[in-house]
């Protein structure tokens, strides 16, 4: 009992604090009812999502398409009567955009191939019709092993990886979080301190020697690509890779961009990612000793006049506490093979809808409510990171800026399933507040609080700067089996009732935070246990 006494004291204090905060938390139920009525009965969230995806396309980081989409979002906010701006930041590097892709097998039989260019690879400079050669880059361990291909690759289309082994997937294609899963996530686990274990010295040395053995590694990819470039390879081809709990196959092509090119960095060889089934068929034909001829053409545009990217920032001004800020946001960029629907037009459409709802119902928040559509999240949270650094500072700057004390909270949405609850990010002081805010939405499934941390999205830039940043618990749906950075991340995957529910809750949380007498409490430490990988 003595061992856990301090934990019980903390828990008892938490229960007392929860009771006191809950009894003091004021909810404007009439305004919440107005928000629900507008969001559930006159929603525009699917219209926003359709235009973002169907008309504006994938909004790839720092591309001309992304800039056009940012201009549209700014104009849309202004149509709501909300002031908005395109907030430029950084020198991200050249913008990249796929303008045309056509890939076919001509011999031994004709087949149209499902294929997408790898981001930041250059175009073919016209139509290329050539033989296919297989060079297994996973089995090249020295420059000497590359030399056998010298003089044999000019103008060829080179397949660079072995066949992908595909298997039946017996898991359901779409899932919602079960009560059992949510119960397990919400359980606070007290993890005992690790115990030192003594082992004999010779055993320790043997284990150390075994772990220190160098494993044979393939030749550095940069050297292989330099060789291909020098030899005049026309194009490289690789199979769509497995991602998430289920492999991306059945015509799905997973395309995740590497980091943007640096200014002046050479543009890589034309590279295509082909669906695993089509890639495997060609590989099997080659294994039969039969020649394969392919036709490849890609037209790629590089934007090199302006290396900046943009966040779209919009705000509803506050009243007596207008200098203090409540923020909601989601990342606006998407990967280029689909149209970035579930990742993350869904979140941005919900953010825009939340702001529209608040403006339409005549909300008069005490604090300013600021919306952010972040740029370059997929490239490493570059948009939100630049914004936090500019406005709030943080540990990496070794200082906090005056605005740091003005931010009450940031709520992030980076997925597309129904809101089932919220992660506390280790800040248990906000638990009783969120419990009260969630009560009006128990009837639509918003019921769970998870004490631990979830990462992988823009809220973490706020958390790292010592600011309250939170992510909602959302149903998986088809994210990990179908849409995650694939060519099928499209509007048709979105679920209307889920996005309506998320938009209403997002608007309500923002309004509640803006109306409190105090800002949301902060905590200097994060709880690391019970983390659910998100995004």
Prior bond of 275 cis (ω within 30°): no
Q: Which residues contact 215 (CB under 8 A, 6 or more apart)?
A: none
Measured distance CA(277)–CA(282) in Å, rounded? 9
Q: Please give the DSSP secondary-structure letter assigned to residue 219.
A: P
Task: Check the CA dihedral 64-67-73-78 and report its sign.
Answer: negative
- Strand 95-107 and strand 111-112: the pairing is antiparallel
Measured distance CA(158)–CA(303) in Å, rounded? 27
pLDDT reported for residue 188: 66
Please say whether the beta carbons of 402 and 391 come within 8 A: no
Measured distance CA(130)–CA(293) in Å, rounded? 6
Residue numbers in the chain where pLDDT is lower than 50:
1-18, 195-196, 527, 529-535
pLDDT reported for residue 11: 42
pLDDT digits (tens, 9 = 90+) for 426-457: 899 999 999 999 999 999 999 999 988 888 89
Measured distance CA(524)–CA(511) in Å, rounded? 25
Measured distance CA(63)–CA(106) in Å, rounded? 33
**Can you say whether residue 16 is alpha, beta or left, with left for phi > 0 and alpha for psi between -120 and 50 degrees?**
alpha
pLDDT reported for residue 358: 98
SS3 letters across 45-95: HHHHHHHHHHHCCCCCCCCHHHHHHHHHHHHHHHHCCCEEEEEEECCCCCE
In a 13 Å sphere around the CA of 122, the CA atoms on its Cβ side amount to 11
Closest CA to 307 of 375, 258, 373: 375
How far lies 170's CA from each of 11, 244, 319, 366, 488, in Å? 42, 15, 55, 52, 20
- Strand 407-412 and strand 469-474: the pairing is parallel
pLDDT reported for residue 399: 82
The per-residue pLDDT of the chain, averaged, comes to: 90
Q: Please give the DSSP secondary-structure letter assigned to residue 214.
A: P
Q: Which domains does the chain have, with CATH numbers?
A: 26-92+308-515 (3.40.630.10), 99-170+214-301 (3.50.30.30)
DSSP string, 408-472: EEEEE--S-SPEEEEE-TT-GGGHHHHHHHHGGGGGGT--EEE-S---SSTHHHHHHTT--EEEE
pLDDT digits (tens, 9 = 90+) for 87-116: 999 889 999 999 999 999 999 999 999 999
CB atoms near residue 262 (< 10 Å): 11
Please say whether the beta carbons of 382 and 397 come within 8 A: no
The residue count for the chain: 535
pLDDT reported for residue 487: 97
pLDDT reported for residue 453: 83
């Amino acid at each position: 009992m003595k061992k856990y006494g301090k934990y019980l004291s903390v828990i008892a204090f938490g229960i007392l604090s929860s009771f006191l905060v809950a009894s003091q938390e004021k909810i404007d139920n009439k305004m919440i009812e107005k928000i629900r009525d507008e969001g559930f009965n006159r929603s525009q969230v699917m219209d926003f999502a359709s235009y973002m995806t169907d008309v504006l396309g994938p909004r790839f980081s720092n591309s001309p398409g992304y800039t056009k989409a940012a201009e549209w979002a700014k104009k849309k906010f202004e149509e709501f009567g909300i002031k908005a701006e395109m907030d430029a930041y950084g020198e991200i590097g050249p913008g990249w955009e796929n303008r045309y892709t056509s890939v076919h097998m001509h011999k031994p039989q004709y087949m149209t191939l499902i294929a997408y260019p790898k981001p930041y690879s250059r175009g073919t400079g016209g139509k290329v019709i050539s033989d296919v050669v297989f060079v297994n880059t996973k089995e090249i361990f020295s420059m000497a092993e590359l030399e056998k291909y010298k003089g044999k690759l000019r103008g060829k289309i080179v397949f660079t990886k072995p066949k992908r082994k595909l298997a039946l997937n017996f898991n359901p294609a779409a899932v919602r979080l079960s009560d059992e899963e949510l119960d397990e996530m919400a359980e606070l686990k007290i993890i005992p301190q690790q115990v030192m274990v003594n082992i004999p010295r010779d055993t320790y040395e043997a284990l150390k020697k075994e772990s220190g053995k160098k494993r044979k590694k393939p030749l550095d990819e940069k050297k292989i690509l330099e060789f291909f470039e020098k030899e005049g390879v026309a194009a490289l081809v690789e199979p769509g890779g497995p991602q998430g709990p289920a492999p991306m196959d059945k015509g799905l092509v997973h395309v995740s961009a590497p980091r943007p090119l640096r200014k002046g960095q050479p543009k890589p060889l034309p590279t295509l990612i082909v669906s695993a089934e089509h890639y495997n068929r060609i590989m099997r034909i080659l294994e039969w000793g039969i020649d394969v001829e392919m036709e490849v053409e890609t037209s790629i545009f590089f934007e090199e006049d302006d290396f900046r990217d943009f966040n779209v920032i919009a705000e509803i001004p506050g009243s007596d506490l207008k200098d203090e800020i409540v923020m909601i946001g989601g990342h606006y960029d998407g990967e280029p093979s689909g149209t970035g629907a579930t990742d993350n037009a869904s979140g941005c459409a919900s953010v825009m809808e939340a702001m529209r709802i608040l403006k339409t119902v005549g909300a008069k928040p005490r604090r300013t409510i600021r919306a952010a559509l972040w740029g370059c999240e997929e490239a490493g949270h570059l948009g939100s990171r630049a914004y936090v650094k500019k406005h709030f500072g943080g540990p990496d700057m070794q200082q906090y800026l005056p605005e740091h004390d003005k931010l009450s909270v940031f709520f992030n949405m980076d997925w597309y399933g129904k809101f089932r609850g919220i992660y506390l990010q280790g800040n248990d002081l906000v638990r009783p507040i969120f419990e009260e805010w969630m009560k009006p939405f128990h009837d639509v499934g918003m019921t769970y609080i998870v004490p631990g941390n979830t990462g992988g999205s823009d809220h973490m830039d706020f958390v790292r700067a010592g600011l309250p940043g939170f992510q909602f618990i959302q149903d998986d749906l088809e994210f990990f089996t179908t849409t995650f950075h694939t060519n099928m991340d499209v509007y048709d995957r979105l679920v209307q009732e889920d996005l309506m529910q998320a938009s209403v809750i997002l608007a309500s949380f923002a309004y509640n935070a803006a109306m409190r007498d105090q800002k949301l409490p902060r905590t200097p430490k994060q709880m690391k246990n019970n983390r659910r990988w998100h995004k």
